[in-house]
């Protein structure tokens, strides 16, 4: 079987012949040779370069500028830093073969250390008693097996170290004729060796003592010390907006009908109507002064009426519904949202052409179509939560219809539980919240939902007291709570929520607008998000109604910081991690999302430059 070809990395001292021998021993599996050496006058790099040019093999010879050899500890440090930087630039695509035979023993030691840290397909030494410098004679020695390779095997290395630097020093060609020879400057900016030592020590301490990780994502353990210190500091609203905007995010509390309620998006949705003659052109209700951060609170009823121009007014039309979904998905992408649970009321959008079931299948298909256009890391996975809307009075049959729809849908989607396909993952008890409409009144209605394994979230403790939350927890077995602003009023209930790992979906903009939490002028209320987080509540930040509230997930996070000035950057990451863990996604998909966020956040932190 033909071996896969890969680069060969070699150190070089005064005798460059060992480089050619190393190549000859691995000739069948080598597609490029890369050599690093010193500026030693005795080294014949020109003839070495000519050899590889003659056989037309891709190669490079890298020389540390103004550096002749290892005579002092400082020289060793310079060489090791240069070699580490050079090595990482050569292992981006595949692990190389690594030869230890060239140069001084300390150079070989550095090369092996690099292989151990960054990875090598095979580390080997050259066994050859004959010191010939003639390539033809060397080839004969290999054929006669008088020169052999002492293979030491694979070094898996650390993938995170391989991606840290690439070559972060300046390369310069010596001349156009010696196209394979480059100079690199001595490293001056970054102490790679020290950083690696810090990371390994940190990881060893973490796993050897079995301490609870203080970092929400494991990859943060691998960051430079200064960035870890930066993450522990309070969020700087003036300078951290770009950092927050770039973070991958989750939105677990987002209403489909509350998007595109005014402005350009509403116009686009209306223009997409298939039957515009059937649409009542409902006027957009003017927003209160200084919206989305009004001087005074508004009632929940007034808040909801701000969305009257959308929702059931438009979304019974297939064209409008399709456009609404497409625009919402594009919005998620622009906000770096990688997973969202969108709440919808299909029964509210039924028409003489589409039943509730048809509407639900249409919504699922539209989100699936959006997701199919994306590659994995850019995709925003969208699942659905069906809304059971309670009212002050009147016909409550829509609750039964939506619950029946959810139960029926679950029977048709079991094969999609562990895929990125859009599916129903839960039911939300929403609508008017008061003593007369607490969760306990709907216990029997939700029996079928429990029986088929669907998760339940309930708007509780937004307008009602902690008693409303108590009923959602104990009588409805809710896995998540919408808003739960009054949970702080009941320490025993708060402890239950912590112990049961019940999620809390907070929506800062809506909570500001409806309930008057600070930093609203004159407010004496303390927004409980930080206390929930510090106490161990699985609290998250969400949008609620993006169009009505006039803010995306990024704006909600930044407002949360204004309302809780002691939030640290690590707190923001913990809020994101909480959202993954309390999502109604399958265990398998949660694991995949944690791995994806771990990777994306780490990459963002490496690119991000700390400014004072």
Which residues are annotated as catalytic? 462
What is the Cα gyration radius of the chain?
31
Residue 302, both tokens = 């007034």
Q: How many CB atoms lie within 10 A of CB 564?
A: 23
The structure tokens 């005795």 sit at 42
Pair 363, 406: CB distance under 8 Å: no
In a 3-state reduction of DSSP, which class is residue 481?
Answer: strand
Report which of 257, 240, 298, 301 is spatially closest to residue 560, judged by C-alpha positions.
240
Q: How far apart are CA 30 and CA 23, in angstroms?
A: 7
| Eight-class DSSP state of 284 | P
Pair 101, 16: CB distance under 8 Å: no
Pair 44, 68: CB distance under 8 Å: no
Phi-psi region of 123 (alpha: psi -120 to 50; beta: other; left: phi over 0): beta
List alpha helices for 411-551, DSSP H.
447-451, 466-474, 491-499, 508-515, 529-535, 546-549
Residue 351, both tokens = 């028409």
Q: How far apart are CA 386 and CA 404, in angstroms?
A: 10
Pair 568, 216: CB distance under 8 Å: no
Q: How far apart are CA 63 and CA 36, in angstroms?
A: 6
């Amino acid at each position: 079987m033909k071996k896969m070809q890969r680069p060969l990395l070699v150190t070089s001292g005064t005798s460059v012949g060992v480089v050619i021998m190393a190549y000859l021993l691995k000739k069948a599996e080598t597609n490029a040779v890369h050599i690093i050496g010193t500026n030693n006058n005795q080294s014949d790099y020109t003839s070495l370069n000519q050899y590889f040019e003659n056989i037309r093999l891709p190669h490079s010879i890298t020389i540390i500028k103004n550096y002749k050899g290892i005579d002092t500890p400082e020289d060793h440090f310079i060489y090791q830093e240069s070699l580490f930087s050079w090595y990482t630039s050569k292992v981006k695509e595949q692990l190389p073969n690594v030869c230890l035979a060239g140069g001084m023993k300390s150079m070989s030691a550095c090369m092996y250390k690099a292989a151990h840290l960054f990875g090598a397909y095979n580390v080997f030494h050259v066994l050859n008693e004959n010191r010939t410098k003639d390539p033809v004679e060397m080839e004969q020695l290999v054929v006669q097996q008088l020169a052999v390779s002492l293979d030491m095997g694979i070094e898996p290395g650390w993938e995170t170290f391989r991606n840290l630097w690439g070559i972060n020093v300046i390369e310069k060609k010596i001349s156009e004729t010696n196209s394979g020879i480059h100079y690199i400057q001595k490293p001056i900016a970054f102490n790679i060796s020290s950083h690696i030592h810090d990371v390994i020590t940190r990881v060893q301490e973490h796993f050897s003592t079995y301490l609870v990780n203080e970092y929400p994502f494991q990859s943060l353990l691998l960051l430079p010390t200064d960035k870890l210190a930066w993450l522990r500091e309070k969020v700087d609203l003036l300078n951290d907006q770009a950092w927050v905007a770039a973070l991958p995010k989750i939105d677990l509390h987002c209403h489909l009908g509350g998007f595109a309620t005014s402005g350009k998006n509403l116009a686009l949705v209306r223009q997409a109507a298939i039957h515009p003659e059937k649409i009542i052109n409902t006027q957009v209700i003017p927003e209160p002064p200084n919206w989305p951060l009004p001087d005074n609170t508004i009632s929940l009823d007034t808040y909801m009426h701000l969305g009257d121009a959308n929702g059931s007014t438009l979304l019974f039309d297939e064209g409008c519904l399709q456009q609404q979904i497409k625009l919402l998905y594009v919005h998620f992408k622009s906000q770096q949202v990688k997973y969202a649970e969108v709440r919808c009321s299909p029964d509210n959008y039924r028409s003489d052409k589409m039943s509730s079931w048809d509407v639900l299948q249409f919504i699922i298909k539209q989100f699936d179509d959006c997701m199919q256009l994306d590659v994995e890391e850019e995709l925003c996975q969208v699942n659905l939560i069906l809304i059971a809307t309670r009212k002050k009075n009147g016909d409550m049959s829509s609750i039964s219809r939506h619950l029946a729809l959810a139960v029926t849908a679950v029977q048709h989607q079991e094969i999609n539980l562990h895929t990125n396909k859009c599916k129903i993952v839960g039911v939300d008890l929403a609508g008017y919240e008061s003593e007369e409409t607490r969760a306990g009144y709907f216990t029997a209605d939700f029996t079928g939902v429990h029986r088929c394994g669907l998760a339940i979230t309930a708007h509780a403790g937004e307008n009602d007291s902690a008693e409303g939350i108590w009923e959602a927890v104990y009588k409805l077995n809710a896995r998540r709570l919408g808003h739960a602003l009054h949970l702080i009023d009941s320490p025993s209930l708060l402890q239950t929520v912590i112990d049961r790992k019940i999620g809390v979906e907070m929506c800062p903009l809506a909570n500001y607008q409806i309930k008057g939490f600070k930093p609203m002028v004159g407010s004496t209320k303390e927004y409980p998000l930080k206390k929930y987080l510090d106490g161990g509540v699985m609290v998250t930040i969400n949008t609620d109604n993006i169009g009505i509230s006039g803010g995306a997930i990024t704006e909600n996070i930044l407002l949360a910081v204004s309302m809780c000035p002691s939030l640290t950057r690590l707190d923001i990451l913990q809020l994101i991690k909480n959202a993954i863990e309390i999502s109604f996604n399958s265990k398998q998909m949660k694991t995949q999302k944690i791995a994806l966020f771990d990777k994306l956040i780490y990459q963002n932190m490496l690119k991000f430059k700390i400014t004072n």
